[in-house]
Amino acid sequence: MRRNNLNSDELMKSFKIRSFVVFGFMMALGAACLGMIIRLAIAEGAMSNGTGSKVLDTTDSSYVPSPSDSAFKCYVINNNLSPIRGEIYDEQGRLLVGNFTVFEVAFDGLHFANEYKDTLSKDPKAFDELFTTLSKALFAQFKDRYPKYTESYYFDFFTQAVQKKKYRTLFAVKEWDEKSWVSGSDTAYIKHLSCWKMGERKIRAYLNYVPTSVRINPYGDIARRTLGMHVEGKHYGMEYSMNQLLAGQQGSKKFLRLNKTVVPLKDRIEPTDGYNLHTTIDAEIQNYVHNELALKLSELGAHWGCAIVMETQTGEIKAISNLKRDANGHYDESMEYAFNAKVEPGSTFKLASLLCFLEKRSDDTTCTFPMFVHTFKYPLKSGNYRSYFKKDSEVRGETMGTVSEIIQRSSNIGVASMIFDTYGMKGFSNYRKQLIKLGIMDTIHTQLGDILPATIRNDGRFDNYYGVCFGAGFNIPILHTLVYYNAIANNGKMVAPLFIKYVTNNYDTIQRFEAEVLNEQLVSPANVEKAKQYLKNVVWGPYGTGRRYKDSTCRFAGKTGTRDIWDPVRKCYDYDHNAVSFCGYFPLDTPKYTMIVYIYYVPQHSEVAVDAFARIARAMMNRSNFSAMRKAKELPFNPNISSYPVNSRYFNTLFKNIGYDTTALATGHRFFTPIKDTVTTIGNKPWTPNPQGSVPDVRNMIASDAIGELARAGYKAHITGRGRVKSQTLDPATRTVNLVLEPR
């Protein structure tokens, strides 16, 4: 018994010792943990926050990489958060430029080879069948976008990536090459190929799809050059000039990298999405301009062409097309000719000379000047004259003409004679000063860049003076010509072109724009009206160079231009090819739009440009129903009256709405047939459907009335077609009348 007590005491003592040991260990561990927590909180707290002497902050603006960076094991790195780029809309809210997700497709040959190294070591051609099938499928899907990629190319791509253990890109994203993009439907096609068998589903995981946001133009090539692009190596147009608004502001998220561990920090700046641009472009008008210009250029085989439509009062650019012929003979938007084309304006510049003449002379309706052939005498310091013989026509001799006839015939000699007679043979500097007053020599600032001034040298030599009078020997941007023509259409008020109306974010309008007024009154109101009359005569006068295209349903005015092309290589003019143009406005009496059409390198003269102008103007005027409203007043009041039965409930209302007075209706009748009483009065006659047995004859009735009559007689109706009842058949078993309807 004593022994048992002894054993019990020993066990208790042993238990207490062990308990104290465990307790002591736990206390030591707790103290160690507490000490570590205190150490981390105090000594290492800065590191956990991405600060302190042991942390290298590579996001600091003052950070400069150096060899001493290798001493650090802890880095603060920055991950940029990209904003959503703003979109571009036309004036009706239709999307012109938006965001679209495409994919870079790559194959991870490194991890594929490591995963299947045993299989490949035993049988190097184990996956040849898979790669062959995959190559055929990819070739079939992408042969139009990647014509140089053959089936063997795809096969070699996969096999070499595995053999060399490399991560290789199959389809790279080229933001500027829309034809090469791989879309979500393409990736879905690849993922669901039949070659991915049950045992090979894991293999397709080594094809990687990296999403990238690109810019897409839903309307294709229309206005592409003006809308622009802002990607690597290509910077132009609205995307470039308004990039600060479209791009938004980048956000950031900081991370702490320690060895291979990445820990997010609290510092985060949310990105600010870009603003949306609402342009002045009207997609429908742009479509007319693009298609008509492309058609005309294709007919003529021209090198390039440009057409611009400007709203007269506001200066808003409704359409702008710059089309250039490629190696295949197609025309696409590849150059910004409206701003940058270095071409001589030709006879469209005669409006500027006409305005200079009118501002100095009031006898324009009575004076005459030589046309076709003339010898100009330029005075010399010695008191003698130097003779310059000029001719516009081989078959006509020297003929005197009025200012109206000179402008109609577009006589170079006539316009030069007008200027020489007004400013003097040595008065070029005064003539040039008057051109400066017209804004010809000013730089015009727009939202898409500057419109440069005319390059008219201050050179009073006869040939230079003579050429400037009719638009030769200097360059002026096409858009600059449109601006001062628009001033005449706008009763003398010159405004700068406007491309963007307002800017929005997702919630509100941020900024609005209005066209800058360049000159409240370009020339006197009286001279504006005279200039309008002269421009009208170019189309509607008996000698007008544009008279072939006058149309009473599409009335317009303007000035033609034809100019020989300067060959910089041969240092002479190419007299076999021309740059032709027409600038004008429409409708004639109350101008709403001003437009210029410029076509480069054709053997024809300016009539072809007038034709393109007239086609576009006619399409736009039909769109606005100008010609329809004009004809509506001329039509006699004579609506066609049907003799079909009309329900009495709406008989009076129907005919009053089309302009007829109605006589009193007899009571007790549900239907009446109209009878023409006078030119403006409709009579009526009661009408009752004739029964076909017990079934009412509802032929010639509208569907709703026919169904009502059949229902009253206890029949159902089954309708085929639409319009009025042409025929009816009875199904006695179901008491259903089958009605066949047709339009009347």
Tens of pLDDT, residue by residue over 142-183, are 999 999 999 999 999 999 998 898 999 999 998 888 889 999
Q: What is the mean pLDDT of residues 391-411?
A: 86
Tell me: pLDDT of 275 over 50.
yes
Two structure tokens written together for 264? 């997010």
Two structure tokens written together for 705? 């009335």
Greater confidence (58 vs 606) lies with 606
Q: Distance from CA of residue 442 to its chain's centroid?
A: 28
3-class SS at 227?
A: helix
Greater confidence (640 vs 177) lies with 177
CATH number of the domain where residue 318 is located: 3.40.710.10
Burial status of residue 519 (CB atoms within 10 A of its CB: 0-12, 13-18, 19 or more): middle
Q: Mind listing the pLDDT tens digit for each residue in 300-315?
A: 999 999 999 999 999 9
Q: Which of 572, 598, 630 is at the close of a domain?
A: 630
Nearest to 478 by CA among 345, 280, 333: 345
Nearest to 308 by CA among 296, 294, 318: 318
Q: Which helix (H) or strand (E) holds 135?
A: helix 128-142
Same domain, 735 and 700: yes
Question: Of 22-26, 405-409, 447-451, where does mean pLDDT reach its minimum?
Answer: 22-26
**What confidence score (pLDDT) does residue 4 get?**
54
Tell me: pLDDT of 639 over 60.
no
Same domain, 292 and 401: yes
Q: Mind listing the pLDDT tens digit for each residue in 487-540?
A: 999 999 999 999 999 999 888 888 999 999 999 999 999 999 999 999 999 999
Q: Which of 218, 253, 280 is at the close of a domain?
A: 218
Tell me: pLDDT of 48 over 90.
no
Same domain, 355 and 475: yes
**What confidence score (pLDDT) does residue 628 get?**
45
Tell me: pLDDT of 571 over 50.
yes
**What confidence score (pLDDT) does residue 206 get?**
84
**What confidence score (pLDDT) does residue 10 get?**
75
pTM: 0.73
**What confidence score (pLDDT) does residue 563 get?**
94
The C-alpha atoms of residue 258 and residue 56 are separated, in whole angstroms, by 11
Same domain, 319 and 380: yes
The C-alpha atoms of residue 698 and residue 724 are separated, in whole angstroms, by 9
Burial status of residue 596 (CB atoms within 10 A of its CB: 0-12, 13-18, 19 or more): buried
Two structure tokens written together for 324? 């250039």
Question: Which segments of 326-396 are extended strands (E)?
Answer: 331-332, 368-371, 373-379, 385-391
Tell me: pLDDT of 205 over 50.
yes
The C-alpha atoms of residue 136 and residue 126 are separated, in whole angstroms, by 18
Q: What is the mean pLDDT of residues 719-730?
A: 82
Q: Is residue 263 part of a domain?
A: no
Q: Which of 584, 605, 630 is at the close of a domain?
A: 630
For residue 693, what pLDDT band results from cuts at 50, 70 and 90? low
Q: Is residue 76 part of a domain?
A: no
Tell me: pLDDT of 699 over 90.
no
Burial status of residue 680 (CB atoms within 10 A of its CB: 0-12, 13-18, 19 or more): exposed
The C-alpha atoms of residue 713 and residue 736 are separated, in whole angstroms, by 11
Same domain, 106 and 205: yes
Question: Of 187-196, 480-489, 577-586, where does mean pLDDT reach its minimum?
Answer: 187-196
**What confidence score (pLDDT) does residue 540 get?**
96
Tell me: pLDDT of 671 over 60.
yes
Q: What is the mean pLDDT of residues 59-63?
A: 67
**What confidence score (pLDDT) does residue 155 get?**
92
Tell me: pLDDT of 635 over 50.
no
Q: Is residue 573 part of a domain?
A: yes
The β-bridge partners of 373 are 391
Q: What is the CA radius of gyration of the chain?
A: 41
Same domain, 620 and 652: no
Question: Of 350-364, 492-506, 730-744, where does mean pLDDT reach its minimum?
Answer: 730-744
Greater confidence (736 vs 437) lies with 437
Same domain, 601 and 650: no
Q: Is residue 623 part of a domain?
A: yes
**What confidence score (pLDDT) does residue 521 get?**
96
Q: Which residue has the tokens 């008020």?
A: 493
Q: Is residue 254 part of a domain?
A: no
Is omega for the bond preceding 147 within 30 degrees of 0, making it cis?
no
Domain of residue 8 covers 1-43
Q: Mind listing the pLDDT tens digit for each residue in 367-388?
A: 999 998 999 999 988 889 999 9
Report the percentage of the chain scoring pLDDT > 70: 86
What is the b/e burial string over 133-142, where b = at least 16 CB atoms within 10 angstroms of the residue's CB? ebbebbbebb
Vertex 650: Cα angle to 648 and 655 (nearest 5): 105
Q: Is residue 77 part of a domain?
A: no
The C-alpha atoms of residue 354 and residue 556 are separated, in whole angstroms, by 19
Greater confidence (290 vs 4) lies with 290
Two structure tokens written together for 707? 């169904």
Same domain, 211 and 95: yes
Q: How many domains are there within the chain?
A: 4
Q: Mind listing the pLDDT tens digit for each residue in 408-459?
A: 999 999 999 999 999 999 999 999 999 999 999 999 999 999 999 999 998 8
**What confidence score (pLDDT) does residue 687 get?**
74
pLDDT, averaged across the chain: 85
Q: Is residue 134 part of a domain?
A: yes
Same domain, 446 and 317: yes
Tell me: pLDDT of 15 over 70.
yes
**What confidence score (pLDDT) does residue 607 get?**
95
Same domain, 317 and 179: no
**What confidence score (pLDDT) does residue 64 get?**
67
Same domain, 651 and 608: no
Same domain, 733 and 590: no
Greater confidence (730 vs 2) lies with 730
Q: Is residue 582 part of a domain?
A: yes
**What confidence score (pLDDT) does residue 492 get?**
97
Greater confidence (652 vs 172) lies with 172
